[in-house]
Chains A and B, each alone.
Chain A
Amino acid sequence: MSFLGQALAIAAKDLRSEVRSKETVNASLSFALVILLLFSFAFDPDSDQVREIAGGLLWLVFAFAGTLILNRSFARELVNDCLDALIASPVSGAQLFFGKCLANYTLLIIVECISLPVFAIFYNVRLPHSLALLFLVMLLGTWGLTVIGTLFSAMTVNELMLPTLVYPLLIPALMGAIQLSSVLIAGDPVGEQNLFWFRLLAAFDVIFTILSLGLVEIVLVG
Chain B
Amino acid sequence: MSARALTTHRLASLVPVATIVIVLPLLFPSAYYFRVAALVFIFALAAVGLNLLMGFAGQVSLGHAGFLGIGGYAVAIGPVHFGLPSWLCIVIGAALSGAIAFLVGRPILKLKGHYLAVATLGFGLLIAIVLTNEAGWTGGPDGTSVPRLVLFEWRVRGSDTWYWIAAGTFVAGAALALNLIDSPTGRALRAIHDSEVAASLLAVDVARKKLAVFVLSAIYASVAGSYLALFNGHITPDISGFLRSIELVAMVVLGGMGSIAGSLVGAALLVVLPQALTALHDYEHMALGLVLMGFMIFLRQGIVPSITAALAGRAT
B is bound to A: no
Residues of A within 8 A of B (CB): none
Which residues of B are interface residues toward A (Cβ below 8 A)? Answer: none
